[in-house]
Amino acid sequence: MKASKISPEWFESPLGAYLLEREQAYYDRTVADIFGFYAVQSGLAHIDLLRNSRIPGRVHCAVENPAEVLAEPMFLPFESQSVDLLLMPHVLEYTDHPHQVLREAERVLRPEGRLVLSGFNPRSLWGVARIIKGHEKGFPWNGHFLNMPRVKDWLALLGFELAAGSMCCYRPPINRESWLRRFRFMEPAGDRWWAMGGGVYFLQAVKRVPGMRVLTPAWKASATAGTAPSLATGKILNMANYRTKRGKH
């Protein structure tokens, strides 16, 4: 596994702090609108990307401390179809088997469960910097940056449906705070004019199960005396009567 090469100390540098600020903001917005019973963050255990989630059962899983559960992303110690939300921040770039990691994500997620992942974009200034710096320069340049279309194809093959996507970190990856401030105009400009050139991409995917049908409660008309049924209730009752009469013929 390459996951051990992720350096928590790098996030304390000016460039790391810039990346963390952008990614934390995205995850904070995203997880707030996802509901369920169990949420798992796989990777980057020292950063709480589930802090804004309303899901009661939240677990951080990684190959190193301070994770609550120590495990590799290829072998998550959770039952099949037991997780409602799974976060994978920069997991695919630091494993030798990214497709198997996604297979494991598909296994543990419930039907209609959501996978949210982030990765470094090789078709960006960050990708150019990785080529120039080389693998020996440490995190994040020691990862295998994956093209977003390739990850989308893998998700589709596993039965996921893409729900949303986004990018961030358009500034050049210069590890100096003064230069990062100088290039801050590139953030809004990149979102508008260079949408696919962000240093980091985000993908949200929903696990779809063929043939699955979402069941809704069978509402009954109110039995309260003197209370007229609502328009919506009346339509449901009329449809039920129609089906009953049709079945008798």
- How far apart are the C-alpha atoms of 6 and 147, rounded to whole Å? 20
For residue 126, give every residue at least 6 positions away whose Cβ sits within 8 Å of its Cβ, in sequence order, or none. Answer: 120, 140, 145, 169, 173, 199, 200
229 or 36, which is more confident? 36
pLDDT tens for 56-78 read 999 999 988 889 999 999 999 99
Cα–Cα nearest to 1, from 69, 68, 97, 88 = 97
Least confident range of 60-64, 128-132, 216-220: 216-220
DSSP labels, 156-179: HHTTEEEEEEEEE--S---S-HHH
- How far apart are the C-alpha atoms of 30 and 46, rounded to whole Å? 19
Instruction: Specify the 3-state DSSP secondary structure of 77.
Output: coil
- Pairing verdict, β 200-207 and 160-168: antiparallel
CA 9 to mean position of chain CA atoms: 24
Confidence of residue 81 (pLDDT cuts 50, 70, 90): very high
Regarding pTM above 0.75, the answer is: yes
Do 120 and 2 form a contact (C-beta atoms < 8 A)? no
Backbone dihedral angles phi then psi of residue 104, each to the nearest 5 degrees? -65, -35
Do 113 and 107 form a contact (C-beta atoms < 8 A)? no
Do 107 and 77 form a contact (C-beta atoms < 8 A)? no
